[in-house]
Amino acid sequence: IDPFLCTHLIFAFAKFKDGELIEVSPSDIKIYGQMVDLKLKNPALKVMLSVQRGFSELVNSDDDTLKKFYKQAIHYLREYRFDGIDLDWEFPKANEKEKYSRFLK
């Protein structure tokens, strides 16, 4: 991958269950490292982890489950040296708008 081709690279997709990111395969971890190491050639490159599916369940969770997700997501991003997270929630329900705003805060 040419590290100057894009400003951001997004690894798709991490998954979560019951408010926790599910541990990935060794091959995914290897790819994480390869993607993040591209920043050695282009320090301005941002490498992010995309999380998909299950957001309706998560945003409707209680505060303890949300706190568990936040804490675990931050740990995961730091452990694998990602610059940020992409929340790929494609089809939220109309009544979940306020809950999603609360989730993002």
Task: Tell me the domain boundaries of the chain.
Answer: 8-104
Q: What is the fold of 8-104?
A: TIM Barrel (3.20.20)
Q: Mean pLDDT across the stretch 8-21?
A: 85
How does residue 86 score in pLDDT terms, banded at 50, 70 and 90? very high
Q: Which of 40-49, 52-61, 73-82 has the lowest mean pLDDT?
A: 52-61
Question: Can you give the pTM of this predicted structure?
Answer: 0.86
Which of 23, 94, 21, 20 is closest to 56 using CA atoms? 94
Report the sign of the C-alpha dihedral through residues 58, 61, 21, 82, in that order.
positive
The answer to whether 50 and 99 have CB atoms below 8 angstroms apart is no
Average pLDDT along the chain? 89
Active site residues: 90
Predicted local confidence at residue 17, as pLDDT: 77
Predicted local confidence at residue 89, as pLDDT: 82
Token reading at 40? 């050695």
CA dist 76 and 2 (Å) reads 25
